[in-house]
Amino acid sequence: MASLIPCPHCGVRPKEEFSIRGDASLVRPHPEASDETWHEYVHIRTNPRGRYREHWQHVAGCRRWLVVERDTATHTVFSVTDGAAAAREESR
C-alpha cells in the first residue's frame, strides 16, 4: 500500500508527489554567529527514530511548503500544516 500525505490544499496525495527537505525544528543562527554554530546548523544532523517534524514540498501539486509530523520508523503521518501557517505560529 502506498504512503499517503494529506495536503491541506490538494487533499490526500501519494508521497511520490512530495519532496522531503529536512528537519523543521532547526532555527537559523544569527548572521554574525560563530563559524562553529553555522557549521553545526548546515552540516550536523541527527537521524531520530520516532515522531519528527520535517519540511516537505508538494512538488507535483500546489508546490506549497508543508510541515509534516510523522514517525520515521513507521511512516505514520500525524499532522500536516501549511509551512507559512507553521512559521506564523512559531513566531508568536
Per-residue pLDDT of the chain (92 residues; tens, 9 = 90+): 468 999 999 999 999 999 999 888 888 899 999 999 999 999 998 888 999 999 999 999 999 999 999 998 998 999 999 999 888 887 77
What CATH number does the domain containing 30 carry?
3.30.2270.10
What global pTM score does this model have? 0.81
Parent domain of 18: 4-91
Q: Note the pLDDT of residue 91.
A: 73
Q: Note the pLDDT of residue 1.
A: 46
Q: Note the pLDDT of residue 22.
A: 87
Measuring CA to CA, how many Å separate 57 from each of 33, 54, 61?
Answer: 28, 10, 9
Q: Note the pLDDT of residue 2.
A: 63
How many helices and strands, by DSSP H and E, does the chain display? 2, 6
CB 89, CB 17: distance < 8 Å: no
Tally of domains within the chain:
1
